[in-house]
């Protein structure tokens, strides 16, 4: 796996550990600030404890991008392993300053060229782009070919799901787009889609079943799936099973990981969210 072209991403990509190992992907952990303390999102943070903090503390956990030095250190490790070209895919620039720091670090790096590509995505929406790039790199494709592939996948990738409420997105200040159409008087579950680095409200429902049915319907009407990952933030796994069951006729071959999303993302979705990261077979930008 120590090829000439290597792929780097951040922990928000939520790529399962075995796939990280399989494709030699470099993951830079993001920081989560809980109760005034900073935790590194490298799997060491206790998820149960984190969700308790999320729901109970007055000050919401927040996230911080790693400083440029940490990106530089990660790049240098790849150079040491023989990388000549590094492709970086990070949390959408619209949602954080991660890729600014990654870019600053890239300018200081010697020994390899770093290509930072806007992923426009979150969670496995980044992850699938990263995995496809790593597969292509392993097959010996050139940076130009890999970039072309990433652009293609990016235009076919959507992350969407149902949140238990809009409260956390609101508190995180990321929802100027969606306060419309969501009343406060009834408990409403928003259906949201992440595309091109933006979160969009695509529906409003009041029950989980309706939410999952609504999502499944929208997805299956769209196009067939090339890849799919199931995402959730602290829900009972039977909910994920229900969702998978609704989509059983559409599931593609290959790995279909179930991912408990990183606390970095869960801080914004709140607990009780369920969704998918899908790569469709055709362009879906008009979703």
Partner 1 sequence: MGSNDDKIYALEGSVFKDMIWAALSWLRHHQEQINALNVFPVPDGDTGTNMTLTMTSAWNEIADLNEENIGKVVGKVAHGALMGARGNSGVILSQIWRGFARMLDSKGSMHAADLADAMRGASETAYKGVVKPVEGTILTVVREVSEEATLAAQETGDLYVMLERMVERAKAAEARTPSLLPVLRQAGVVDSGGQGFLIILEGMLRHLQGLPAVDEEIIITPEALAAFDPHHDHEGEIDFDEDYPYDVQFLIIGTDMDVPEIRRGIESLGDCPLVVGDPNIIKVHVHVPDPGVPISYGVKWGSVQDVVVEDMRAQFQDFLAGRQLGMKAQPEINMPPLVMNEEGRLRVGVVTVVAGKGMEMVFRSLGAMMVVPGGQTMNPSTAQILEAVKGVNADMVIILPNNKNILMAAQQAAEVSGQHVAVVPTRSIPQGVAALLSMDPDSSLEENVAAMSQAAFEVITAEVTWATRDVALNGVAVREGDAIGLLEGELVVGSQSFEEAAHWLLAEADLTDRELVTLYYGEGVSQEQADALADALSSNYEDLEFEVVEGLQPHYPYIISIE
- Residues in touch with partner 1 (CB under 8 A): 179-188, 202-210
Q: From the CB of 209, what's the least distance to partner 1, in Å?
A: 6
Looking at the Cβ atoms of 47 and 210, the one nearer to partner 1 is 210
Q: From the CB of 230, what's the least distance to partner 1, in Å?
A: 21
Looking at the Cβ atoms of 144 and 185, the one nearer to partner 1 is 185
Q: From the CB of 192, what's the least distance to partner 1, in Å?
A: 14
Looking at the Cβ atoms of 47 and 171, the one nearer to partner 1 is 171
Q: From the CB of 215, what's the least distance to partner 1, in Å?
A: 13
Looking at the Cβ atoms of 102 and 211, the one nearer to partner 1 is 211
Q: From the CB of 232, what's the least distance to partner 1, in Å?
A: 18
Q: CA–CA separation, 5 vs 85, rounded Å?
A: 5
Looking at the Cβ atoms of 175 and 259, the one nearer to partner 1 is 175
Q: From the CB of 166, what's the least distance to partner 1, in Å?
A: 12
Looking at the Cβ atoms of 88 and 273, the one nearer to partner 1 is 273
């Amino acid at each position: 796996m120590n090829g000439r072209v290597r792929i780097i991403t951040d922990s928000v990509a939520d790529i399962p550990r075995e796939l990280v190992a399989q494709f030699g992907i470099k993951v830079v952990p993001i920081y989560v600030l809980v109760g005034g303390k900073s935790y590194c999102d490298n799997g060491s943070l206790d998820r149960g404890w984190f969700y308790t903090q999320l729901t109970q503390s007055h000050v919401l956990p927040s996230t911080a991008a790693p400083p440029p030095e940490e990106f530089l250190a990660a790049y240098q490790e790849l150079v040491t392993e023989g990388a000549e070209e590094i492709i970086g895919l990070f949390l959408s620039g619209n949602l954080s300053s991660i890729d600014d720091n990654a870019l600053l670090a890239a300018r200081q790096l010697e020994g390899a060229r770093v290509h930072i590509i806007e992923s426009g995505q979150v969670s496995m929406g980044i992850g699938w782009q990263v995995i496809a790039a790593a597969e292509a790199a392993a097959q010996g494709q050139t940076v130009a070919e890999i970039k072309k592939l990433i652009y293609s996948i990016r235009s076919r990738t959507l992350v969407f799901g149902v949140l238990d409420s809009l409260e956390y997105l609101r508190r995180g200040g990321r929802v100027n787009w969606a306060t419309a159409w969501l009343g406060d008087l009834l408990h409403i579950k928003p259906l949201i889609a992440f595309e091109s680095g933006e979160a969009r409200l695509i529906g409003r429902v009041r029950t989980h079943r309706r939410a999952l049915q609504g999502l499944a319907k929208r997805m299956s009407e769209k196009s067939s799936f090339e890849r799919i990952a199931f995402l959730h933030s602290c829900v009972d796994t039977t909910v994920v099973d229900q969702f998978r069951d609704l989509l059983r006729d559409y599931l593609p071959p290959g790995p279909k990981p179930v991912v408990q999303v990183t606390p970095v993302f869960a801080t914004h979705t709140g607990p009780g969210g369920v969704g998918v990261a899908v790569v469709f077979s055709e362009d879906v930008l008009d979703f």
